[in-house]
Amino acid sequence: MTIPGYISQLKNSGKATGSFYFKQFRVEDGQSTMKVGTDAVLLGAAAEVADAEEILEVGTGSGVISLILAQRSDARIDAIEIDEDSVKQAEFNVMNSPWNDRITIIHSSLQDFTYQSGRRYDLIISNPPFFSRSLKSDQCKRNISRHNDSLSFRELIQCSSLLMTEKASLWVILPVKESEEFIDTTVKYGLFIHICMRIIPKTGKAYHRVIMKFKKTRAGTIEEKNLTIRNADISYSKEYMEVTGEFYLDF
């Protein structure tokens, strides 16, 4: 899906690398396992950060979600990533941002980080790997970011629960089928859904992604809502522009 306000470039190395220009920062993602995309921007823009002081992003990739959250809050942010090249890319992006004093990139798996860190967070966020038990491509690095063999839903949920304060929230974005599996798993580890935002790619289409918020307490009423990205004429919807307007150059 085309992302507004972005400029993609090919560098002399022959590898496709992207330079993505937002209103207040820039992201390079050429060496990251996961490229900048609509899912990450929507998750970063939709997560509730008003009361967040300590944030953890799991699987930061290029660092785009952490940069969006830094723009939206005054929180201190830890961003962990297992892939070494992605760590270097995220460090470069953070260092060249206005918020390099508040974001720390950490080279670690979530499993190791959970048992080595003494920190607790009041917001944990992740655009997690979601392909499970499916055929893998020949691109090992991309497999790490797309398949959940190295970080299962159970591990993400269990580790997040250990790292969360009692009032903390966990935010994720997943495809429809995987979101149902994720919800079923959270209940087993004492996390309960509070917000379910269904993302519709275009008017008239079925929703294809779900943004979810979980907490350690049960919700009196689960807040359910829809967000449509494009109108029938392929123009961006008003609601999409309202959610992401702080970031995209064209909005």
Please name each of the domains of the chain with its CATH number.
7-244 (3.40.50.150)
Whether the predicted pLDDT of 175 surpasses 60: yes
Contacts 24+ apart (CB under 8 A), 4-11: 4/236, 4/248, 4/249, 4/250, 4/251, 5/247, 5/248, 5/249, 5/250, 5/251, 6/36
Average pLDDT of the chain? 88
What tens digit of pLDDT does each residue of 57-70 get? 999 999 999 999 99
Q: What is the mean pLDDT of residues 135-163?
A: 68
pTM greater than 0.85: yes
Q: For 177-224, write each residue's pLDDT tens digit.
A: 999 999 999 999 999 999 999 999 999 999 999 999 999 999 999 999
Q: Which two tokens stand for residue 66?
A: 């952490």
